[in-house]
Structure 1
Amino acid sequence: MFILSSQSLLLPRIAAGVGAMPLLIGINGLLRPQAVFASVDFPTPTTPEAQRLADAMIRLLSARNIVIGLTTSAIWYRGDRKLLGWAMMILGIFPAIDGAVSLDLIGGGLKHHLPVVPVVFGLGAGLLGWLG
């Protein structure tokens, strides 16, 4: 059976794993906000005030990631393949926007954000039955 088939037993599990990634990234950001800057090649703030603001912004984004990860996990746990498919499609919006922000801020960094976009769209399309 084709892995991206809407009938695939593996497809929802892969989607659950991919959907849990924001949860893990969010937990890391809450616990280690400065590590997030280094992982996406953003410039390190140079003053204590700027560092506090940057840490606060990372924690806000981390909370967003945790909510996204938990929501996706709840949908997977409930077993609704169609809703999980739509969640994957919607999930693809965040790394696309994050990539655009990165491009604007540092003139690059797309490698940290964009590779997941076709993955989640493929998973979503498969779960929605668009691929067979």
Structure 2
Amino acid sequence: MAAIFSLMLWQTGASQLIRPGSALNLWRFPSPPESSGPDDTTAATTTTQQDLVHGLIRREAVRNLALGLVGLATWYRSDRKLLGCVMLCGCSTAFSDGLISRAAIGGEELRHWAFLPFILGTAAGLFGWPG
């Protein structure tokens, strides 16, 4: 299960890196408007805003790629306790992403927090807590 979560995180990061605008739509964040042409007086501002937002999404993409690869590498090496720690790091990422979503767009935090029980359960199992 930890490998599946790691692959999902890696795939999300790859998608965000390649298509940041789609990532904004997926997470329901507003995207800066496209400029209407070279005679648009706000074209420079709009382009700057879009570059900034897409740059921030790409930063998140690199974070997701790295965390996904760390999870896959740890899973491959069969270190259950360390993989449990990686899953807990994933929980902190999902939780903070939900808080950011709530603050930035006034909701949609459950799109991030819905994964928490499953990731926590996986981490607990890797630590040997249920039994």
Structure 2: state its 5+ residue gaps. Answer: 34-45
Tell me the secondary structure at the aligned position of residue 113 of structure 2: coil
After superposition, the CA RMSD in angstroms is 0.8
The counterpart of 2:4, out of the listed 17, 22, 35, is: 17
- Structure with greater contact order relative to length (CA < 8 Å, sep ≥ 6): 1
Query: Could you tell me the percent identity over the aligned residues?
Result: 38
User: Who is 1:10 aligned against?
Assistant: none
- Deviation sequence 1:61-118 (CA, Å, 0-9, x none): 1001000000000000001111111111121000100000000011101132001111
Structure 1: state its 5+ residue gaps. Answer: 1-13
Separation in 2 of the partners of 1:72 and 1:26? 13
Following TM superposition, where does structure 1 have runs of at least 4 consecutive aligned residues deviating by more than 6 angstroms?
none
Larger radius of gyration: 2
The counterpart of 1:33, out of the listed 1, 17, 20, is: 20
Separation in 2 of the partners of 1:70 and 1:15? 12
Separation in 2 of the partners of 1:122 and 1:16? 14
TM-score, scaled to structure 1? 0.87
Shift of 1:20: 1.6
Question: Would you say how many aligned residue pairs link Structure 1 and Structure 2?
Answer: 119
Q: Say if 2:53 is the partner of 1:66.
A: no
Q: Which amino acid aligns with 2:93?
A: F
